[in-house]
Chains A and B, each alone.
Chain A
Amino acid sequence: MKWTIEVGRYDRTAGDGRGEVRSYPPPYENAPQRRYQTFEVDLPDHAMVLDALIAIREYQDESLVVRCACRSAICGSCGMWINGAARLACITKLREVARDGKVTVEAPPSMPVVRDLVWDMTPFWQKNRAVLPWLENKEPVPQGEEYRVPNAAMENLIQEVSCISCGVCVMDCESFAVNPDFLGPAALAKAYRYVADPRDAKTHERLGRYSQPNGVWDCTHCYECVAKCPKGVAPMEQILKIRKLAVEAGYRNNSGTRHAVAFAESVAHSGRLNELTLMPKSFGLFNIRAQLQSLPAAFNMLRAGKLPPLLHPKVPHVERIKAIFKKVGGMFSS
């Protein structure tokens, strides 16, 4: 089958003028401009988006760069925007996303871009580090044998351990879009992994740490991360679990919750944030039909009453919200 792949390219060293230039709407107006270049590939009906990119890179244009290793949603390398929504290219079938045989891929505008489809994950890893993601062993550490814990306690963590650090959840996170210092869904899911580990000695301290500004209270429940995570990690649910445990542990009236309140108020005044409201009006890349098509899970959630309304009344004043975030600040700002 013939497929048309439109690739948003970026190379600050080349600047060779290939393809059409487009830029992004708020809040991504400062994202570097991509040039959109079109390739034709001949691939079977069940081929993945990554197959197409590899085919282009191998046989049409060796200068197209894309991270990938395992090709089966294990290494977490190929998170990108596909038709304007975050996905993993290796498990996205062309036929599921193509419209008239055409698919658009690009580095997410919410992230600093290195080149073409490769985006800079440094902030992602910094946030991962910021949640102190390692076991602080409960004493006494059993000598010469394992900690005795029920299997259910371990199975309970498989969901978070399944995270492959692809960043897909963060790319489209509504809170992250306006506050780059928000720890974000992936890091907070990881945080829960250690909070809920019965072998960890620092549960209480962790709950305090994650309750600070830019932590769990900054999540706006937009559900993007749950809908888009390719591994079923459901970060928002882990965030809610941390909140509940934190409140139970006495972290009530702290700067984190106040921060959240400020955010909620600002959102109430200026209209709720939602990626649909961030859509550009000028080109078809982000039209609503595309959004719906690219969110197969959306309908189920809508039915389950979990998805926020698709259309919000007013476009938010992103700059104002950003300013509020700046004012309240937080320990996770880097």
Chain B
Amino acid sequence: MIVDHDVIVLGAGLAGMRAALEAARNGVNVAVVSKVHPVRSHSGAAQGGINAALAPGDSWEIHAFDTIKGSDYLADQDAVEIMTREAPQDIIELEHMGVIFYRDEEGKLGTRAFGGASKARTYFVGDITGQALLYTLYDQLLKAGVKVYEECFATALYMAGGECRGVTAIDMLSGELNLIRAKAVIIASGGAGRLYEPSTNALICTGDGIALAYRAGAPLMDMEMVQYHPTTLKGSGFLMTEAARGEGAYLLNKDGERFMQRYAPKMMELASRDVVSRAETIEIAEGRGIDGNVLLDLRHLGRDVILTKLPQIHEIALDFLGIDMITDPVPVRPGMHYMMGGIRTDVHGATSIPGLYAAGECACVSVHGGNRLGANSLLDTLVFGRRSGRAAAEYVRRTSPTATGEDFLAAEQRRIADLMARPYAGETHARLRLELGTLMDAKVGVYRNEEGLMEALTGVHELKRRYGLVAVGDKGRIYNQALTFVLELGYLLDCAEAVIHGALTRKESRGAQARTDFPQRNDAEWLKHILITHNDGGPPRIDFQPVTITKWQPQERTY
């Protein structure tokens, strides 16, 4: 089946739904394609909140400076300026859409403190901010009557004449592969957390859109910048929101010491994430951890604060470790959390491919540079989701529809059929995925070096070879998850390659890239973005792009 729209949004998280809403408001025929129902998207897991300089005494300049400093000066300052200037209006708009933000005594929007921020500028709904935003946007999508192809899994971008003209997607309920044609495609497919094991990300965060854009020829930028969150739960890796520390929780080592005083005497537990994650890694490596973890202590916050402001993490710690944080500290450690890098876009979400846009975690504008500040990601999804929706709507007005694509669909159907027919040869997607995640965590984690990265690269090449032998262990047509897991593993392997190449290329330590063999930040040589472009049959092409500096000259970072 082939269907047509003006704009296709691939992904129904916050970035995707915001983009779709904006495109609809601009009067074009837009449809959303998502492999899960929109409200199941990973945006729903965001607990802590969303940043904006809205309160008296705060300003977009301070927010911008915090963001740029947090990014270790790798963020593009023009993009950060746009995001921080437009943030207040987006928060107000969300409020008007119905988000039940926390209020102060006057009934105005109230804030909480978050890491790396010099002012309390995080707006929130308990610790279900992402969920509250996601449902509100979904409600707005219903109100606007936007078509959603839910449980449709994208397998390829349809490229014609160098332009992006749609996506092929498997309708999970029928098993059919369809071509959804459009004049423009906005990728909003989220991060690639499952590249790592463990990770705070949902099982569906597999870098699909990043890999699709990469294969279609769009450069990826700053892929080496992978954020480890300082407080992920022992074992399962679930996130203990930064809001816990925002509300005043301590990090303790096995001696009961608030060790952050040795690493970030001013900001303590609320230093930026890269700083805290490295501090914890050192504490654990030097034997001051407990069983590979440190402790997150909330006891002094008291029962009321925990139950009203942090109910979800209270529940998660209870469910998964049997620990009640009202009475006991919780073991945590740094865990993979977020991709700062992604598909390179301009401030309108445009990639280097005509008709292809990207927004949200899969994109790299770059507003997060080497390290994203907590609560800046939801903001990124909304600001750049909106902007890409508008830009795509404008683009399609000057673009004519295409009638081609049947051959492409047929070829894609053959590719999937061949994959389905592959005989079992001893390799399964699950085993390979686990090996990949473990390898990435061990060699491309908080600390990296040349030797380990080379091992990781060799390892990924070997995994890619074995990937060619993976069979789909389900021959059914309806809701064939084995097939989509195999396809996801392919996406992950492409992302892994880009991350490792980026990390090998950047011979310095900046933000989330901490190289033990190049421990210093080196602005003279490395104050630049790394672009990675797919190259059929060979290693990817590596290019560089200068960082846009407007008014904030790089300084040494202390917290």
Chain A contacts to B: CB under 8 angstroms = 11-14, 46, 57-59, 61-63, 65-77, 91, 114-116, 118, 120-121, 125, 129, 133-135, 137, 141-142, 144-151, 154-155, 157-158, 161-162, 164-165, 194, 197, 199
Contacts and interface: CB of A to CB of B under 8 A. Distances in A.
Contact of B102 (A14, A148, A154, A197): A154
B196 interface: no
A46 B321 CA distance: 8
B482 A62 contact: yes
B428 A147 contact: no
Contacts, number: 160
Interface stretch (B64-72, B132-140, B270-278, B324-332): B132-140
A116 B172 CA distance: 14
Interface string B87-129: 0010010011110111111111110000000000000011010
Contacts of A115: 476, 478-479
B479 A118 contact: yes
Contact of B478 (A114, A137, A199): A114
Interface of B: 36-37, 39-42, 44-45, 89, 92, 95-98, 100-110, 125-126, 128, 131-132, 135, 139-140, 142-143, 173, 202-204, 236, 238, 308, 312, 315-316, 319-322, 428-431, 472-482, 485
A58 B139 contact: no
Contacts of B238: 71-72
B319 A146 contact: no
Given A75-B39, A161-B132, 12 more contacts: A62-B428, A62-B472, A69-B40, A70-B42, A74-B312, A134-B143, A135-B98, A137-B96, A146-B101, A158-B125, A161-B131, A194-B98
Given A129-B142, A148-B106, A114 B476 contact: no
Given A11-B478, A46-B322, A71 B202 contact: yes
Contacts of B106: 148
21 contacts: A63-B476, A68-B203, A70-B45, A70-B202, A72-B238, A72-B319, A73-B315, A73-B319, A75-B36, A75-B42, A91-B319, A133-B139, A150-B107, A151-B102, A151-B107, A154-B100, A158-B125, A158-B126, A158-B128, A162-B131, A197-B98
B482 A75 contact: no
Contact of A11 (B95, B236, B476): B476
Contacts of B45: 70, 72, 74-75
Contacts of A70: 42, 44-45, 202-203
B107 A63 contact: no
A146 B92 contact: yes
B244 to A, nearest CB: 16
B295 to A, nearest CB: 19
A125 B36 CA distance: 13
B103 A149 contact: yes
Contacts of A66: 481
A216 B125 CA distance: 28
Contacts of B431: 59
